[in-house]
């Protein structure tokens, strides 16, 4: 065991022969008899060293034979995946270029065909014009000669020549028919960029699926891990924790969004003011919209900034550093509802100007990342109509839309593939389902405000779980959940926000 001894840091003349199990440090005999280690358990240093080396040997064995080779395999796999990605992108780029060249050839062919038709029309019309021009020029020449002859006869006393004169005025008075030519016109069709994208082709999203690798365990005497937290359960009777009276009038309050554990943003109707309240019912801040229009919906980003949609102005705006900035400006579409995702994107429900189409757009800042509009059969996922539709992202990254016109909640996965729709609880046949605001909690449950004074709670697969209908709700509209799973309900009728506890 030569070289294994350690000089005691407190007693330089002593060697650490023991290891204090409670303090997990080497000590000498003098330290062991001190008050500092009174009642502690001591183990011979040689045994401790042997035990520790056994752990080191196990770690080394695991690193060399299991962990390091797996990392090497992962690194090799990543190189192959990068090469595949580059090759795939090259092929797609070539395919896009070739399709673009085909489209250019079709357009060039249309242009050439239209030019040829124009040249043909020009030739036909020009031939008619040339013929009439020749006849008119000849008639002018003959008339000019007749005028000269008449002047000569008038100056002449030759009876025979005057007698031989025959008038051609009747002939000349028959003017050639007047030509009315309608010149061809070219009326270009307005280029619809979105329709052009659809006609050109689609590019599917890059999907990256993360799978947890199979774990390899080596048995080592280590402290047990902390148990994972259990699933939060419903309380028997949901209860109102706080009521916040807002300044919005009856049937005005529509949206509520969490700023922090103690503060909420609100907006409503045609009121151009967005208001921040704390849970003590105090008005903390007021912000007026940039256009002075009433905001359609609000949300708070992951960085804590307020964003809102302005349907009349066709803009999405952010409030930052006491200034309001347009981050999205739409054409032909109007933004309705908005939510901020866990990745920092914005999901925006937009409707066409003629209310015939509805879609969900995903933006990173002002850049379009995704459009969710149709199912696999090409059918619209969402109903047309002027009523509002609310959107939220679930913890499993599903996109959930409360479709008021369809009386349904439509859920698609992260890439926009239809998962299910919820049209109300099957046993509730006498009360129609009138969905408004929508939100999700930490358990991936979906909560939907029902205009009929209740909240529906369903699981992430659309199975009904329960109602919240005992809190004297008055036309619940906007919903949001804080980090502690407390539910905030904006009551459209009463102009109040109720904070409700429904989980233990």
- 28: domain CATH number is 3.30.160.60
Residues whose CB falls within 8 Å of the CB of residue 135, separated by 6 or more in sequence, listed in order: 176
In a domain, 169, yes or no: no
State the distance between the two ends of the chain, measured CA to CA, in whole angstroms.
58
Point out the domain boundary residue: 62, 86, 110: 86
In a domain, 444, yes or no: yes
pTM exceeds cut of 0.85:
no
In a domain, 479, yes or no: yes
In a domain, 119, yes or no: no
List the beta bridge partners of residue 309: 297, 316
- pLDDT for residue 212 is more than 80: no
Dump pLDDT digits (tens) for 449-482.
999 899 999 999 999 999 999 999 999 999 999 9
Point out the domain boundary residue: 31, 53, 86: 86
pLDDT of 160 reads 87
pLDDT of 432 reads 84
pLDDT of 226 reads 39
Dump pLDDT digits (tens) for 160-205.
888 888 898 888 888 888 877 778 888 887 777 666 766 777 776 6
In a domain, 196, yes or no: no
In a domain, 204, yes or no: no
The rounded mean pLDDT for the chain is: 87
> What are the two backbone dihedrals, phi and then psi, of residue 210, each rounded to the nearest 5 degrees?
-95, 120
Dump pLDDT digits (tens) for 335-371.
999 999 998 899 999 999 999 999 999 999 889 999 9
The rounded radius of gyration (Å) of the Cα atoms in the chain is 42
Cβ 304 vs Cβ 263: under 8 Å:
no
Domain range for 36 is 6-86
In a domain, 359, yes or no: yes
pLDDT of 198 reads 66
- pLDDT for residue 148 is more than 70: yes
Q: Using a pLDDT cut of 70, give the percent of the chain over it.
A: 91
H-type helices in 156-192, by residue range?
159-164, 169-173
- Domains held by the chain: number: 2
Query: Which of 75-89, 170-184, 255-269, 395-409 shows the lowest mean pLDDT across its residues?
Result: 170-184
Point out the domain boundary residue: 86, 110, 126: 86
CATH number at residue 394: 2.120.10.30
Query: Which of 37-46, 76-85, 332-341, 466-475 shows the lowest mean pLDDT across its residues?
Result: 37-46
In a domain, 332, yes or no: yes
In sequence order, what DSSP letters do the residues of 95-154 get, joined into one string?
HHHHHHHHHHHHHHHHHHHHHHHHHHHHHHHHHHHHHHHHHHHHHHHHHHHHHHHHHHHH
Query: Which of 7-21, 88-102, 214-228, 400-414 shows the lowest mean pLDDT across its residues?
Result: 214-228
Handedness of CA 239, 391, 460, 481 (dihedral sign): negative
């Amino acid at each position: 065991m030569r070289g294994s001894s350690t000089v005691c840091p407190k007693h330089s003349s002593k060697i650490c022969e023991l290891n204090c199990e409670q303090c997990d440090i080497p000590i000498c005999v003098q330290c062991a008899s001190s008050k500092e280690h009174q009642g502690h358990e001591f183990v011979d240093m040689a045994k401790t060293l042997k035990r520790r080396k056994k752990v080191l040997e196990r770690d080394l064995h695991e690193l060399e034979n299991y962990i390091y080779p797996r990392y090497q395999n992962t690194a090799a796999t990543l190189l192959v995946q990068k090469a595949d990605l580059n090759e795939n992108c090259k092929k797609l780029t070539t395919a896009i270029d070739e399709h673009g060249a085909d489209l250019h050839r079709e357009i060039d062919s249309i242009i050439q065909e239209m030019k040829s038709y124009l040249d043909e029309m020009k030739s036909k019309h020009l031939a008619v014009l040339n013929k009439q021009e020749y006849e008119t020029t000849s008639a002018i020449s003959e008339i000019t000669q007749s005028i000269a002859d008449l002047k000569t006869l008038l100056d002449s006393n030759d009876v025979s020549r005057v007698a031989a004169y025959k008038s051609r005025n009747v002939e000349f008075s028959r003017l050639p028919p007047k030509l009315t030519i309608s010149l061809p016109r070219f009326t270009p069709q307005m280029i619809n960029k979105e329709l052009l994208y659809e006609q050109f082709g689609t590019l599917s999203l890059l999907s990256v699926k993360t799978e947890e690798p199979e774990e390899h365990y080596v048995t080592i005497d280590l402290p047990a891990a902390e148990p994972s937290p259990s699933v939060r359960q419903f309380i028997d009777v949901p209860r109102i924790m706080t009521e916040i009276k807002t300044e919005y009038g009856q049937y005005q309050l529509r949206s509520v969004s969490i700023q922090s554990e103690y503060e909420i943003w609100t907006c409503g109707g045609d009121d151009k003011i967005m208001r921040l309240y704390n849970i003590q019912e105090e008005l903390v801040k007021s912000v007026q919209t940039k256009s002075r229009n009433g905001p359609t919906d609000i949300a708070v980003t992951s960085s804590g900034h307020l964003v809102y949609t302005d349907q009349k102005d066709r803009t999405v705006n952010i409030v930052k550093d006491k200034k309001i900035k347009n981050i999205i400006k739409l054409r032909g579409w109007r933004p309705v509802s908005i939510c901020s995702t866990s990745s920092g994107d914005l999901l925006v429900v937009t409707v066409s100007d003629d209310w015939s189409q509805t879609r969900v757009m995903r933006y990173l800042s002002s850049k379009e990342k995704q459009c969710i509009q149709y199912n696999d059969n090409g059918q619209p996922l969402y109903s047309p109509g002027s009523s509002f539709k609310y959107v939220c992202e679930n913890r499993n990254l599903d996109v959930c839309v409360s479709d008021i016109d369809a009386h349904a909640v439509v859920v698609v996965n992260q890439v926009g593939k239809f998962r299910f729709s919820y049209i109300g609880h099957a046993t509730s046949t006498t009360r129609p389902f009138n969905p408004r605001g929508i939100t999700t909690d930490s358990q991936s449950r979906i909560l939907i405000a029902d205009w009929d004074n209740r909240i529906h709670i369903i699981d992430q697969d659309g199975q009904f779980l329960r109602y919240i209908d005992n809190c004297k709700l008055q036309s619940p509209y906007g919903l949001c959940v804080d980090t502690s799973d407390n539910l905030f309900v904006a009551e459209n009728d009463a102009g109040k926000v109720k904070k409700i506890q429904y989980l233990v």
